[in-house]
Amino acid sequence: MDNKLIWLLPAIGLVVALQPSYIHPDEHFQTLEMLMIKFYGISGTVPWEFEPTNNARSYFPLYAFYGPLFYLMRDILKVQNPLNILRIIRFYNFMLYLSVLYYALPKLVNENKLQNKGRVNEALVFILSSYITWCYQCHSFSNSLETILLLLVLSNYTDILSNKAGLLQLVSTGFLISVGTFTRISFPAFLLLPSIQVFLKVLYRKWIQMVVIAVSMTLSTSIIVYFDTFMYESDEIIIAPLKNVVYNLNVDNLAKHGLHPRYTHLLVNIPLILGPGLLMIRNTKNDFLNLPLLSIISSLFFLSALRHQELRFLLPVVPLFSTLLTRFRYRPYLFRIWLVFNAAMCIIMGIFHQGGVIPMISNINAEQDLTIDIWWKTYSPPTWLYNNDILTVSTTSIVNNIENLDLVQFNVKTNHVVDLKGCDFDLVLEAIQNFRINGVKSLRLIVPNSMTSNVAALNQTYLVTKENSVFPHLDLDHLDSGIQNIIGLSEYKVSL
């Protein structure tokens, strides 16, 4: 069974990966938005982390992971269609993850002293049948890159502990730790306890290995800092992770993104990630010092100390937990429940979730008539998908906890995307009225079907015509509007 699933599950996963679902804005704005601005010269949304005054994100991981692919798409393959670019990126992410899994997982499973192919295959089946792999890992999250880097470092650690590591692995370990830290500041949280174990076991046996890793980390960090300083065109040295740490240590900053109880990771996110898979974990009392378990404990301890806790922050735990499973043949009923759970989550998150946003932008691009697009009650539209080099992007601002339109450029009448996020309906009316005052004759309004009653109210003042509708699009943020209304995304022409 395992061998068949190992071939079947990646095929299913690839189909899901290529669906236009939209899980979280960061999958676009922290990666693809900036890469498209740099490589294709489009006008888009620069997230706060990449603003020159903040410089809290490193460019190096983006260029290291995606740079060669973007050069290939732009200069050799001549890919211009944004939807095709997105598909290529997701295919690339999926195949890269599979490659790293097939390389690293046998080492991590065998690190538990379980030297047999059956356990490796079952760990692979567990990962490949997880909706996290299909829906999150193939999307362009920085967390997806973090997972790949963590697997590579831990696999190197197993070689170091078993006296199999050569100079190349030692140098690459230092490089990977440095890149991982500049990819996400949470990366050291996954590595702290495993690193302590490696350090204590190797220090007196082959202390020179620690020196090689430390030198490699220092040189790699210096190169990354120089690269980021160059990219930000700064006269001062830019150390992006430090800026990010300072930002995240301020609770007022975290409040802008949402504050969660400190038990959220442990009691909410882990069950959402693993579901019935939690019941397949074997007794780990004899494996307390194995690297995957140490990494899980380390990450949960340190990441739970912060008040902002999203599910995607724990993506790397899926391959780590896979090394701690009991054999499927001992609990076949649990494995079947696991498959049903992941199939359901895959449909929700990998196909339906905000699934109309990307096709809607693609349809608008096909019309080649961009005037003013107002997006309301959807995730922020990934403006890189407009592939427009003269695009103006406006959004709301919040002053003293009051949302306003002060940053919206109402005098821009063409090639203008306005993201009203989840503001009150009164603010939508105010925005439309301000555009009318500035001489705009018509505009597009893109809203989920859960806002149908508001569109009807708008039609009492303006002529509102439904132009297009996209399915599937699941709006989980407005379940109170009724199940029948949370499916679908619609485009309206509002004549002023």
At 2 the pLDDT is: 61
Average pLDDT over residues 345-367: 94
Q: Are residues 205 and 256 in the same domain?
A: yes
At 401 the pLDDT is: 83
Last residue in a domain, options 352, 382, 404: 352
User: Predicted confidence band at 325 (pLDDT cuts at 50, 70, 90)?
Assistant: confident
User: Predicted confidence band at 163 (pLDDT cuts at 50, 70, 90)?
Assistant: confident
Q: Are residues 280 and 376 in the same domain?
A: no
CA distance 7 to 26: 31
* CB contact at 8 A, 414 and 450: no
Q: Are strands 372-375 and 416-419 parallel, antiparallel or unpaired?
A: parallel
At 201 the pLDDT is: 87
Cα of 73 vs its chain's centroid, Å? 22
Q: Are residues 269 and 290 in the same domain?
A: yes
CA distance 80 to 372: 23
Q: Where are the beta strands (DSSP E) in 204-343?
A: none
pLDDT mean across residues, the chain: 92
In the structure encoding, which two tokens stand for residue 437, read together?
A: 């005052």
At 332 the pLDDT is: 81
CA distances (Å), 164 to each of 51, 153, 156, 374, in order? 44, 14, 9, 58
CA distance 245 to 241: 6
Q: Are residues 339 and 362 in the same domain?
A: no
Burial classification of residue 236, based on how many CB atoms lie within 10 Å of its CB (0-12 exposed, 13-18 middle, 19 or more buried): exposed
Orientation angle between helical segments 207-231 and 167-183, nearest 10 degrees: 40
Q: Which of 285, 273, 245 is nearest to 341 (CA)?
A: 273
Average pLDDT over residues 338-344: 96
Last residue in a domain, options 284, 318, 352: 352
- pLDDT for 6 beyond 60: yes
* CB contact at 8 A, 373 and 489: no
Q: Are residues 246 and 381 in the same domain?
A: no
* CB contact at 8 A, 179 and 220: yes
In the chain, how many domains are there? 2
Q: Are residues 106 and 230 in the same domain?
A: yes
pTM above 0.75, yes or no: yes
In the structure encoding, which two tokens stand for residue 379, read together?
A: 């995730």
- pLDDT for 5 beyond 90: no
User: Predicted confidence band at 126 (pLDDT cuts at 50, 70, 90)?
Assistant: very high
At 482 the pLDDT is: 55
Residue type, 388: N
Domain containing residue 245: 2-352
Average pLDDT over residues 404-426: 94
Model pLDDT for residues 376-391, shown as the tens digit of each residue: 999 999 999 999 999 9
- pLDDT for 285 beyond 70: no
Q: Are residues 375 and 347 in the same domain?
A: no
Q: What is the dihedral of CA 200, 304, 276, 98, to 10 degrees?
A: -60
Both ends of the chain: CA-CA distance in Å? 62
At 291 the pLDDT is: 94
Q: Are residues 424 and 333 in the same domain?
A: no
User: Which residues have a Cβ under 8 Å from the Cβ of 367 and sit 6 or more positions away?
Assistant: none
Last residue in a domain, options 313, 336, 352: 352
Give the other-Cβ count within 10 Å of 360's Cβ.
Answer: 25
Average pLDDT over residues 214-222: 98
Q: Are residues 321 and 334 in the same domain?
A: yes
Q: Are residues 327 and 376 in the same domain?
A: no
CATH classification at residue 389:
3.40.50
Average pLDDT over residues 233-239: 94
User: Which residues have a Cβ under 8 Å from the Cβ of 320 and sit 6 or more positions away?
Assistant: 108, 292, 293, 295, 296
Q: Are residues 190 and 260 in the same domain?
A: yes
Q: Are residues 334 and 363 in the same domain?
A: no
